[in-house]
Amino acid sequence: MSLFQNIPYLQESKLPKCKCSKCNKLSKTVVSLSMLATSFCFSQKCDLVLEGKVLDLHDSSPIEAALIEVVDGNEAILSDANGKFVFENQCSGKINLKISHLNCEDIYTSVNLNKSISRMFYLEHHIELLKEVILDESKTKKLSTTAPSYALTDLQKDQYSVRGLAKALEQISGINTISSGNVISKPLIHGMFGSRVGIIYDGIPIENQQWGQDHAPNIDQNAFDEISLIKGAGVLKYSGDTPGGVVVLETKIPKIKDSLYGKTILNGFSNGRGLNIISSWTKSFQSGKYFRVQGTLKRVGDFEAPDYVLSNSGNDENNFSFTLGQNKILSQWKTNFSYFSQEIGILRSAHVGNVYDLVIGIESDIPTIINPLSHQIIFPKQVNRHYTGSIQYSKRRESSGKWNVKYSWQRNNRKEYDIRRGEYKNQSAVDLTLDTHNLTTNYKWGGSIWSFDSGAFLQVQDNYSNPSTGIKRFIPDYIKARFEGYFTTSFSPSNHFNLGFGIRYSHHNNEVKKYYHYNRWRQENYEGSLGGFVIGDFAGQKLIGQRLIFNNLSMSSGVKYVIQPDLNLSLNIFHTERAPDIAEIFSDGLHHSLATIEYGNPFLKTETVQKLVLNFEKVSGKFRFNFSPYLTQGQNYIIIEPNGIEYTIRGAFPVWEYRSVSSLIQGFDLDLSLQLGKNLKLSNNSSWIEGYEKGSRTPLISIPPLSTTSQIQFSPARWKSFVMALSNKYFSRQNQYPNHNFETSVVENGNRVTKLVDISSPPKGYNLLGLEFHFGPYPLFSNKISLSLIFENLLNTSYRDYLNRLRFYADEMGRNIMLQIKIQH
């Protein structure tokens, strides 16, 4: 029997019948070749494995539940939560695949399989832009492979659209606000603020004189679609000197289709008699081109404490941004321009001119100056303007790998107006202009198990202090050159285990010109240490020219392990090195917004911080929790604190000075939620922290007290698209604080007496009750409309916040009722 009798086209009866030698020879050749081909077919390998990962084309985030089908075959599989899929027992040869997902363009691709391989596949993932989802808790977004990160929901962003970025972030456990009054606030993460907390918007690190406590971020959070946070220095691709954390603001890339959509928010609020309008519009085309415009207008009068008006505490704000770009499958480009303008009144009673006024202000239960409510902003005040221009381009390879390059320019102009007389009556006392040029580039690549990201950062910065103020420069002129390079990698051998590592090198080169008054020069005995840098003497001042160079190395490593399908454990260790800010080294003079004299320390060295963060997270089920203890230790840790009083021709003012210490900060964050049926949910966010100097165990200044926020959310089954929430925020008294009180001599009732100036004792703890009603979205012609009615400090509680530098002079804001109307076009 022939070996090929069951193969029709190779049966001998089917072979050509010819008796000539040539045909017989040809027949034998055909049979031989057929046997060879069939033998190859029978020996083909069918034990190969095709492993893949389906990712979003724009941000490389994994896509779950993508359908991967073998064309002309009967195999299909869904990608898991990490975007992974596996085809086993495959034969060698070419495999044609179809990959599809809801809201994605289907893609067809082929893989030549001659050995087991791993491939990355990218889908153009379109999110439903007009979908409105009401949530009450932060959703997690993957900014780091091992460190947990948090993203505010749309409802949270909109609810705090008028309160500023720091207040919006305060909804996350472990986040506090450090402030000067009711408008100027900045995020404080795990006891750290200022330069230790990075703010990145569309890939650009903000540069806006952010070192001071009264320097709020000059940025409009309403210009961005996503606000995310990672606690700890877990994102080395953005920065290596932010041990506190990184705030990332991003705009979404529109669909590749013809569409026009937008959102308008109207806010009206009772406290401050304020109005605010925010509107954004996006137009996209089938070609991939798109443009977006966004604007914010805000007018707020004097705020009110429960018992009196907080005179000169209002603010005006005007912001605008424009974006033009093109989104293609394998490449994108975008250019952007934004303008931020803010005028802020400084509490009138906080501007004291002598020690006696300071003593009276601290001892009095009410402000020493109370005027009728007004929308006019008078001196003292701040005027801040921030301009940003950027252009970026990215190119993706068809298989894997994405290259990005971005150039950005920022100009920040900050003016502080004091109460002055004479020819300088309308002249600012501080006028600083900071120009910053950034060039960044990075390349990302990898497979289903390994991923890599490397890049470089170049910055040139020029700070100019306007001498026409008639007052010595508070911050000196300087030029800074900064170069950085980083490398990060992630190893994910399975869905249950992830290992990450990163390293970043930073070189700072600062050229500074600084004036020192003779009195300060002699008092601090600077001749021995700074005399070699003197380049001139002018009008009782010494001018020094100094070059400061810092070389820093930061590293991070972390591991994440899935203990059970709904229980994750992660451990992250960070080592960060931060060059001292120019202000920390050279600030000199009266800080008008705070009515204090500040002195830098010219001998500060690189600040080094090690931080360990442990995170337990239950991610599914009716009961969820996230418990995150952390430990931070610092060497040359830079702090600013009171150090006596100084008399000047302007009056007497408290003196604050920078110094470095060995520090230890420890604490935990705890998030709990319990879903009771479909309509009721309970949640609680708590945080505890303590910080002190090693050795002496002296508490660190400006460490927040224990705080906890509880909320009950209810949505009746019969009421469609309605949510009610009742919340209570509790802040305890901070019992661990450094004592910087001092005594001074003042004239009282014609007699000279000694008074204690208590600038250290924290205020008592307090509770704040809040109530929220959210309606919608409901159809409105071709739009959707949502309404919110929000009551803050519902019981009109009188209280003072330990983290407010102006707490000595007045209570915090009282009850506020806000009506918000949101229209999605």
SS3 string of 608-644? Answer: EEEEEEEEEEECCCCEEEEEEEEEEEEEEEEEEEEEE
Share of the chain above pLDDT 90, in %: 60
Collapsing DSSP to helix, strand or coil, 496 comes out as coil
Cα distance between residue 353 and residue 650, in whole Å? 7
pLDDT at 138 > cutoff 60: no
The per-residue pLDDT for range 40-97, each reduced to its tens digit, is: 444 556 888 888 888 876 566 788 889 998 877 778 899 998 889 999 888 888 888 8
Between the alpha carbon of residue 28 and those of residues 10, 13, 19, 25, the distances in Å are 12, 13, 13, 5
Pair 504, 236: CB distance under 8 Å: yes
Q: What is the pLDDT of residue 8?
A: 38
Pair 632, 665: CB distance under 8 Å: yes
CB atoms within 10 A of CB 33: 10
Residue 234 — pLDDT band, cuts 50, 70, 90? Answer: low
Q: What is the pLDDT of residue 745?
A: 84
pLDDT at 11 > cutoff 60: no
Average pLDDT over residues 565-569: 91
Between the alpha carbon of residue 385 and those of residues 163, 298, 378, 473, the distances in Å are 18, 15, 18, 19
Between the alpha carbon of residue 718 and those of residues 132, 679, 723, the distances in Å are 19, 10, 12
Instruction: Give the residue among 520, 655, 643 at the shortest CA–CA distance from 594.
Output: 655
Q: How is residue 223 written in tokens?
A: 């210009």
Mean pLDDT of the chain: 87
- Phi/psi of residue 738, each to 5°? -80, 145
pLDDT at 12 > cutoff 50: no
- Please give the residue that has the higher pLDDT: either 107 or 810: 810
Pair 487, 445: CB distance under 8 Å: no
Least reliable range by pLDDT among 14-28, 39-53, 753-767: 14-28
Residue 459 — pLDDT band, cuts 50, 70, 90? Answer: very high
Collapsing DSSP to helix, strand or coil, 748 comes out as strand
C-alpha R_g of the chain: 32
* 783-796: b (≥16 Cβ within 10 Å) or e: bbbbebebbbbbee
Instruction: Give the residue among 421, 425, 418, 417 at the shortest CA–CA distance from 383.
Output: 417
* Amino acid in position 793: N
- Please give the residue that has the higher pLDDT: either 125 or 676: 676
Cα distance between residue 725 and residue 548, in whole Å? 53
Q: Cβ neighbours of residue 86 under 8 Å, at least 6 residues apart?
A: 49, 50, 51, 52, 77
Residue 122 — pLDDT band, cuts 50, 70, 90? Answer: confident
Q: Cβ neighbours of residue 153 under 8 Å, at least 6 residues apart?
A: 133, 135, 136, 137, 138, 139
Residue 111 — pLDDT band, cuts 50, 70, 90? Answer: confident
pLDDT at 4 > cutoff 70: no
- Top mean-pLDDT range of 79-83, 105-109, 489-493, 683-687: 683-687
Cα distance between residue 628 and residue 150, in whole Å? 13
pLDDT at 325 > cutoff 80: yes
The per-residue pLDDT for range 142-161, each reduced to its tens digit, is: 556 677 778 888 888 998 99
Average pLDDT over residues 354-366: 81
Least reliable range by pLDDT among 71-85, 265-279, 345-359, 685-699: 345-359
CA 489 to chain centre: 21
Average pLDDT over residues 97-116: 81
Element (H, E) at 249: strand 245-250
CA 681 to chain centre: 28
Average pLDDT over residues 273-301: 96
Between the alpha carbon of residue 670 and those of residues 179, 464, 617, 673, 802, the distances in Å are 24, 44, 10, 10, 22
Q: What is the pLDDT of residue 501?
A: 93
Beta-strand relationship, 596-599 and 567-578? unpaired
Between the alpha carbon of residue 789 and those of residues 203, 726, 756, 772, 817, the distances in Å are 34, 12, 45, 6, 7
Residue 651 — pLDDT band, cuts 50, 70, 90? Answer: low
Between the alpha carbon of residue 459 and those of residues 244, 437, 507, 510, the distances in Å are 22, 6, 10, 12
Average pLDDT over residues 268-284: 97
Average pLDDT over residues 358-368: 86
DSSP letter for 423, please.
G
Q: What is the pLDDT of residue 89?
A: 87
Q: Cβ neighbours of residue 562 under 8 Å, at least 6 residues apart?
A: 495, 496, 497, 568, 569
The per-residue pLDDT for range 387-446, each reduced to its tens digit, is: 999 999 999 876 668 899 999 999 999 999 988 888 888 999 999 999 999 999 999 998
The per-residue pLDDT for range 617-636, each reduced to its tens digit, is: 998 899 999 999 999 999 99
Q: Cβ neighbours of residue 482 under 8 Å, at least 6 residues apart?
A: 457, 458, 459, 460, 461, 506, 507, 508, 509
pLDDT at 26 > cutoff 90: no
- Please give the residue that has the higher pLDDT: either 447 or 181: 181
Residue 594 — pLDDT band, cuts 50, 70, 90? Answer: confident
Q: What is the pLDDT of residue 644?
A: 82
CB atoms within 10 A of CB 563: 12
* Amino acid in position 43: S
Q: What is the pLDDT of residue 381?
A: 93
- Please give the residue that has the higher pLDDT: either 343 or 756: 343
Q: What is the pLDDT of residue 142?
A: 53
Pair 225, 294: CB distance under 8 Å: no
- Phi/psi of residue 824, each to 5°? -105, 120
Least reliable range by pLDDT among 103-107, 220-224, 260-264, 746-750: 103-107
pLDDT at 105 > cutoff 80: no
Exposure of 504 in the CB half-sphere (CA atoms within 13 A): 29
Cα distance between residue 11 and residue 23, in whole Å? 16
Pair 165, 151: CB distance under 8 Å: no
Cα distance between residue 519 and residue 476, in whole Å? 18
Cα distance between residue 813 and residue 271, in whole Å? 8
Residue 342 — pLDDT band, cuts 50, 70, 90? Answer: very high
Between the alpha carbon of residue 415 and those of residues 430, 433, 469, the distances in Å are 5, 9, 10
Instruction: Give the residue among 286, 288, 344, 291 at the shortest CA–CA distance from 315.
Output: 344
pLDDT at 37 > cutoff 50: no
What residues does 405 pair with on adjacent strands? 393, 441
